[in-house]
Every structure is written in C-alpha cells, then in structure tokens.
A and B are shown apart, each in its own frame.
Chain A
C-alpha cells in the first residue's frame, strides 16, 4: 500500500512542480504580501520623525517645549531634530518634504497659558507623511493638555492671590510639561489576548496560515482531478489496494502544507526578520493547522463534482476563515465580539498560539491553541469521511 501511495505521490509531485500556481500560493504570494504589508504598515514601535521647532513666542512655557520636550524626544531616538532660521524656511522644508513635521509655537503662547487662556501649537506636516505626522500631532496635543492643566492651576492661584504667578511656579510648569516619556508613550501593539507578538511576525504567521488553506487543496482535490482526467478507472484497475490512492492524496496535501509553512517561517525570518519563536512550539502549531486545513478542505471538496468547483468552494472558505481569524491584522484584546469570531477559525487559534509562544517562549504554551485547532479539524474530518464514503469511488 505504501509503495503504491509513494509512486502516486511522486507522480503528483511531478505534476505540481509543473503547475506553477502551487508555488505562487505556497511561497511567493504569502512572502510577497508579508513584505508588502510590512512596508505599508511599518512597525509603530520604530517610527522615526524628522522634525523641528519654530519658537515665535520666546516665553518660558514655550521654552519648556523647545528646550525640554524636543531634546528628550531626540534623546529617546524618536525625533531627528531639524533647525530653521525662521518660520518661512521651516514651511519651505515641510513643503519640500525635507522634514516630516514642524511645531510652531505662536507669539503670545506663554502669556496665554499663564493667563489661563486658550493656547495652541501649530503642527505643519509633510504631505504623505501620515504616521510621522500623527506622531507630531500627538506630541503637541499631549503637551497642550498638560499645560492646560497647569494653566488651570495658575488661574486658580491668580484668582485666590490676585497676583502674577511666581517665577518658581512658572518654572515648575515648564518642568512638569517636559516629561517627554509620558508625552510619547505609545501603547504596545495588542493582540487578541494582549500578548506581544511583533507586527511583522504576526503578519508573516497570518499569511502562512492563510495561504496554507489554498495550498492543501492541491492535494485534497487530487481524487477529483483523477476522475476528471479519466485516470481513476486505470488506478483502480491496477493491482494496488484502493486505499493507497486516498492515502497518496492525503500525504501530498500534508507534505505540501508542511513544506509551505516551514519554508515561509524560515524565509520570513531570514529575509524579513520575523520572529516565530521556539521551533518545537511552531512545529506543533504548523502540524495542527495543516491537519485542520486538510479536514476542512476535504469536507468542502465532498460537495463539489469537479476540481474547479472544489477550488472555488475552498477559496471562499479559506478567505472567510482567514479574515475571521484575523490573519491580516491583530484583533484588539478588548474587542469581545471579534474574539469570539476568531475562536471559530483555526487561523485565529493559530495566531493565539503564536502569541502565547512569543509571550512565554515555552513550546508548551501552544498546546491549548493546538488542541483547539485539532478539535476544529476533527469536527470537520468526521463528516468529510462519512460523506466521502457515500460517494462513488470513481
């Protein structure tokens, strides 16, 4: 039985090698999309901003921003500071795209703050520099909120003492408002369970999981292809156990899935820097996911009469499960409904397992997720086997 299954597997492999679409789905598209998406949506933990300040005010509160906030952002490695001779030059550089953003502190800024009045920091952003621009606005807004609170305190003191604010208090305002870390604190990327899988690795794992559901059907639909080619009668007439034909197709699907995910994990690590975690844990998750994909796609194939029809059904199921599993973007931890939705997809459990693995660095952390994936596979495999047996063998 194994010998016959091996010969059929070798033949199928030869046919797959000549059918370039399988390589597209297995390796090129997922790796390409990972690279593409990681370029479009850069890691916000490593965003850098080239920016400068134009101080038209010259007062003490403005100095808190110019001499306190901005240098601390530079020290934190977030901002590369640019200098300008005047506002006109700053605007010109923004227009040219030479800098990402410029903070403009208007004349009368400090006076307005100390008087407890509205004060505003203008932020000039280079067109097309969306993420750095948002960061520049965020810094300005955070500083504005802080001095607003202090200004409120000053207004209260002024109302009580009916006197101008003391220099010590004004100095305290500047110091308090320049706690740069608070100003630029970025919330960590949250996953569905709030565990720290970095975005690139998440995307690479998501793409591999997504496309393995397109790769596995190349093996699963092999029986339909044999029927369509007219070769099934000849296979069944050969002196081999009929089960060898099914075994070869399942083996082909399994190996194709395993090879696809293994190559993608290694390639995304080497080429893109994705971190997949301890190999033992990854191996468990990959095997579980490939088995689940085989079961799901076998069930879908039972309802098709031709390989093309099966391919269409399987593509729809793969896309629905992939999207609901959050393969393209992490599901926020506080999104309860989405969390339930991801629980209905093996992709979602796979990514949870990846998160757990990244958080704990222990291979055993993947076991609950792997168990859920295998359960998903078992639930779909049973009806697939029952329905397949009811169908004619050829």
Chain B
C-alpha cells in the first residue's frame, strides 16, 4: 500500500543549531507512527516541515505522493495539524473555532456546519459548543485543539505532544480518540516523550535524539535491540555515579546508568548476577536500599541507545 507520508533525509538548522540532522520514515494508511524523544530532540521541527510550515534545508517530504512545501496547497489540504501549544481563539466559541478553521480548509458553509456538529460529538463538546473556548477546562481546550485538526477529513493527522499538561482523565480520552482514528484508516503521526503513550498507540516508533532517528521499528523490534536482557534498578544511598561505574565494570552488565538515586543496569540474567551487582555497589561505598528487576521497555531502549533518560 502506498505511504501517506514519506520523509527522507530531512535536515534543518537554525543558525548554528542543527535541529534535525537526518530523519527518514514513512507512514501507511491506518498506521499510527510515533516519534519518541525528549524535549529538544527535533520532533517539533520535523513536524513543522512535514506540515509545510518550514522548508527543509535538505531532504524530501511527500504527502500522498505530492511534494510538501510551504506553498504546496494540495498537500497541505491532506494534513491535519494539532500543534503542541493550544491553537484556538479563546474569544470565539468552540463552534466558531471549528467553523473558522473549516472555512480556511476550503469547506463550504453547509459542509462545515454539518462537519462541525460531527466533530463536536466526537470530541465530546456538543453541550459546550456555544461557550467561549477561553472558558473551557484545559482538557476541553485540548480536545477542541484536536477536533480542529480532524475537521476537514485529513488523510494524515499530526499530533504534536497532544497530552502535555492534561489531567489523566482527559489524557485517556485523547488516547482513546487517537486509537479510534487509526481504526478508521487515518494515518497518524504522533510525537511524545511519554514512553507509555508511544507503546500504547503506535505500531511503529522512531526514537529521535539530537535530530537523528537512532532506532526505528515496532515496539518488539526496539526492545529486541536489548533482547534477552533484564533491567535491574538499584535504589542507592551514597554516591550513585560511583555505584553506576562499579556496576558497569562487571562483565555481565551491558550498561549501567545513574538516574536520580538509582542505578539502572542492563544485563544478561539478572538472577545470577544480582549478588555481583550488590557487591559492586558496596565496593563503591554505597548502600543498596531497594532492588527491582523487570523486562526492558522503550525507556530502557532509549537509555541504552543514548545514555540519557527520555525526560532529560
């Protein structure tokens, strides 16, 4: 099946700062694709180029086979953008916000009226449609923000960190909405720095760091990068850095990183090597006050690949 979005070799610099160094991926119809990375990884810049807000310094973007540029109106018409920051007019009602952006998308008056009612229903704002958006709760504003992106039946929906600053209930509602959209055949590009969101929503995920895609694949593909290994988290009292260095020196340990008051170790066979780990921490004149052993997740993959935590 032809890709809805195809990006290859995207690069973008702002002065001396290389925001996006080499980003390539494609998204099929009905697929939710995740860009997972910490703040400043280059996710929003990538999205800005994909939505036609910025022209890339190098590389190509095509939406439904049409090259995306800031002046590619037909390509833009196929994209629905939900920016990270709220992009609504607080002095307009929910309905007026939807109506305005619908008209801007080229929808006719009757068409936009009918579609506005549909979208209000989908985002659960029908009963508040005629209230000013400025009076909405944070979660309602987020839902309106997403509704505007959906209004014109885009083929590709770009959601840039849609759950930032949202309460757990609204967050869950947003995630459920995105899951529903994918089942309707919509291609979704979802950026987040929440590992659990990427794991829940995305069939394929690109891990982005410092403008590069450092790994890409399904959740299983990514976790297999550190397959057959266990993650041991040692809660340590004392010099955490020294404890991490001592653990890293053990032959069975693939990586050991200090994270707050914990040492996160990736190693083969946690059960057999636990005494050695405890001994290494003690040798570093620190004390283990807690131990947790579990299977690795995307957070561990990111840590393994970049040496940093996603929230850094």
Contacts and interface: CB of A to CB of B under 8 A. Distances in A.
A15 B104 contact: no
**Best-surrounded residue of B70, B92, B104 (most CB of chain A within 10 A):** B104
Place the interface of chain B in its size category. Answer: 20 to 34
A312 interface: no
Given A14-B96, A233-B83, A238 B89 contact: no
A237 B74 contact: no
Contact of A11 (B71, B77, B86, B100): B100
Contacts of B148: 234
A61 B85 CA distance: 88
Contacts of B85: 230
Contacts of A15: 89, 91-92
Given A11-B100, A15-B89, A242 B71 contact: yes
B48 A229 contact: no
Interface in B85-124: 85-92, 96, 100-101, 103-106
A234 B87 contact: yes
Contacts of A241: 71, 73
A237 B89 contact: no
B86 A7 contact: no
B91 A239 contact: no
A391 to B, nearest CB: 14
A126 to B, nearest CB: 53
Contact of B51 (A229, A231, A237, A242): A237
Contacts of A379: none
Given A7-B104, A394-B53, A237 B91 contact: no
Interface in A234-265: 234-242
A293 interface: no
A230 to B, nearest CB: 4
Contacts of B162: none
A31 B188 CA distance: 55
Contact of A237 (B76, B86, B92, B106): B76
A105 interface: no
Contacts of B71: 241-242
B232 interface: no
- Taking chain B's interface residues, is the majority helix, strand, or loop, or is none over half, making it mixed? loop
A315 B52 CA distance: 36
Nearest to A15: B91
A85 interface: no
Contact of B73 (A7, A233, A235, A239): A239
B53 A236 contact: yes
B130 to A, nearest CB: 14
Contacts of A238: 76, 101, 104-105
Nearest to A7: B103
B247 interface: no
B79 interface: yes
B81 interface: yes
Interface string B147-173: 010000000000000000000000000
A4 interface: yes
Contacts of A14: 92, 96
B104 A8 contact: yes
Contacts of A11: 89, 92, 96, 100
A239 B92 contact: no
A15 B89 CA distance: 9
Contacts of B90: 229
A390 interface: no
A14 B103 CA distance: 15
Contact of B52 (A8, A18, A236): A236
A319 B86 CA distance: 35
A230 B87 contact: yes
11 contacts: A4-B104, A19-B91, A229-B87, A229-B88, A229-B89, A231-B87, A234-B101, A234-B148, A237-B51, A237-B79, A394-B53
The 6 closest A-B pairs by CB, nearest first: A230-B85, A239-B77, A234-B87, A239-B73, A237-B81, A239-B76
